């Protein structure tokens, strides 16, 4: 049984909860447990949306610096692959994923939030990539996912300065999607996740894959990814149900098949 990462499922929404006092530092054990949790919710046919949550106080203050401090280049050349693989596993959950950000989401914590499809932040939340202040750079996807989200210039500003970005600015630059009172963060994420329950889960997975893979390639290749995903959905029950319901002016009841 996992010690620091739990999965709770209610009403077809899974919450991946970090709970490693005091700041949810993402050490090797947490990374391993995150992978297990991500694979679990991705494989669970009953789960239709996912929330990443660190609790009322903090999302995650980063990768465990004390654990890394004595690593050699040889050590990190191996561990960095494991680190990135952990976050990639979270990013590839084939369902809508919402990060509910309270308190700090710094370094690896910010990179974990970047793996979600959407981010809801509390008014006092602070996000950032402060690795440069340690003589490092982000190593869990920050130099790649952040510029894809907010643009290269803004990403460089955050990465070069290492500064903490308040929630209001994060919303303004597109780093988060919604800002709510601190005490409403998880509830807001839950309400958003609920909008996907009962939806066409196969189509949502296809849409997520098409968007995520498409931004990595040229337009023609992206269009081909879209075409294949689009055509493939015509083999699903949900597509037939959805189109039939449209023709009959009825509400579709998707089955996830």
Write out the catalytic residue numbers.
Answer: 111, 131
Give, to the nearest 10 degrees, the angle between helix 73-91 and helix 28-43. Answer: 30
For residue 91, give every residue at least 6 positions away whose Cβ sits within 8 Å of its Cβ, in sequence order, or none: 115, 141, 145, 212
List 166's β-bridge partners, or say none: 126
Q: DSSP per residue over 91-111, as a string? A: HT-SS-EEEEE-SEEETHHHH
Cis peptide before 22 (omega within 30 of 0): yes
Tell me the C-alpha distance between 128 and 204, whole Å: 29
Q: What angle do CA 168, 172, 177 make, to 5 degrees?
A: 85
């Amino acid at each position: 049984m996992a010690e620091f990462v739990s999965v709770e499922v209610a009403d077809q929404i899974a919450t991946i909860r970090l709970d490693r006092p005091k700041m949810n530092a993402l050490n090797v054990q947490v990374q391993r447990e995150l992978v297990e949790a991500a694979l679990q919710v991705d494989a669970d046919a009953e789960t239709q949306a996912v929330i990443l949550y660190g609790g009322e106080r903090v999302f995650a203050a980063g990768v465990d610096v004390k654990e890394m401090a004595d690593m050699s280049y040889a050590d990190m050349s191996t561990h960095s692959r494991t680190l990135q693989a952990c976050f990639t596993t979270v990013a590839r959950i084939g369902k809508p994923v919402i990060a509910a950000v309270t308190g700090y989401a710094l370094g690896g914590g910010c990179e974990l939030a970047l793996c979600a499809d959407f981010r809801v932040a509390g008014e006092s939340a602070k996000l950032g990539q402060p690795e440069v202040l340690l003589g490092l750079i982000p190593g869990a996807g920050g130099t790649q996912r952040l510029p894809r989200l907010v643009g290269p210039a803004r990403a460089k500003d955050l990465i070069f300065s290492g500064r903490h970005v308040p929630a209001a600015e994060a919303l303004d630059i597109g780093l988060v999607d919604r800002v709510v009172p601190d005490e409403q963060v998880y509830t807001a994420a839950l309400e958003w996740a609920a909008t996907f329950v009962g939806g066409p889960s196969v189509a949502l997975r296809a849409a997520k894959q098409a968007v995520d893979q498409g931004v990595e390639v040229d337009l023609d290749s992206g269009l081909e990814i879209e075409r294949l995903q689009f055509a493939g959905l015509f083999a699903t029950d949900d597509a037939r149900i959805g189109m039939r319901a449209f023709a009959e002016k009825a509400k579709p009841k998707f089955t996830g098949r």
